[in-house]
Amino acid sequence: MIGRRELLVGGIALAAAPTRLLAALPVPAGNRLGFDVLRSGSKLGTHILTFQQTGDSLTVQIAVEIAFKIGPITLYRYAHNAIEHWQGDQVVAIDTHTSDNGEKYQVTGRREGAGFVVQGTKSGRYVAPPNALPATHWNRRELDGPWINTQDGRIMRPKVVAMGVDAIPTAANGSMRARHFQLTGDVEMDMYYDDRLGWAGLSFVKSGAKVQYLRQS
Pick the range with the lowest mean pLDDT from 1-15, 16-30, 75-89, 103-117.
Answer: 1-15
Cα torsion at 127, 128, 129, 133 (round to 10°)? Answer: -160
Q: What is the pLDDT of residues 88-110, one digit of tens each?
A: 999 999 999 999 999 999 999 99
Q: What is the pLDDT of residues 150-188, one digit of tens each?
A: 999 999 999 999 999 999 999 998 999 999 999 999 999
Q: How many whole angstroms separate alpha carbon 200 and alpha carbon 195?
A: 10
Interior angle at CA 181, CA 176 and CA 184, nearest 5: 140
Q: What secondary structure, in 3-state letters, does the chain show?
A: CCCHHHHHHHHHHHHHCHHHHHHHCCCCHHHEEEEEEEECCEEEEEEEEEEEEECCEEEEEEEEEEEEEECCEEEEEEEEEEEEEEECCEEEEEEEEEEECCEEEEEEEEEECCEEEEEECCCEEEECCCCCEECCCCEHHHHHCCEECCCCCCEECCEEEEEEEEEEECCCCCEEEEEEEEEECCCCEEEEECCCCEEEEEEEEECCEEEEEEECC
pTM over 0.85: yes
Interior angle at CA 138, CA 180 and CA 57, nearest 5: 150
Q: What is the pLDDT of residues 15-24, one digit of tens each?
A: 333 444 566 8
Cβ atoms within 10 Å of 90's Cβ, excluding its own: 11
Averaged pLDDT, 132-145: 96
> Mean of the per-residue pLDDT values for the chain?
90
Q: How many whole angstroms separate alpha carbon 100 and alpha carbon 77?
A: 7
Averaged pLDDT, 83-92: 96
pLDDT value at residue 22: 65
| pLDDT reading at 62 higher than 60 | yes
Q: Is 187 left (phi over 0), alpha (psi -120 to 50) or beta?
A: beta
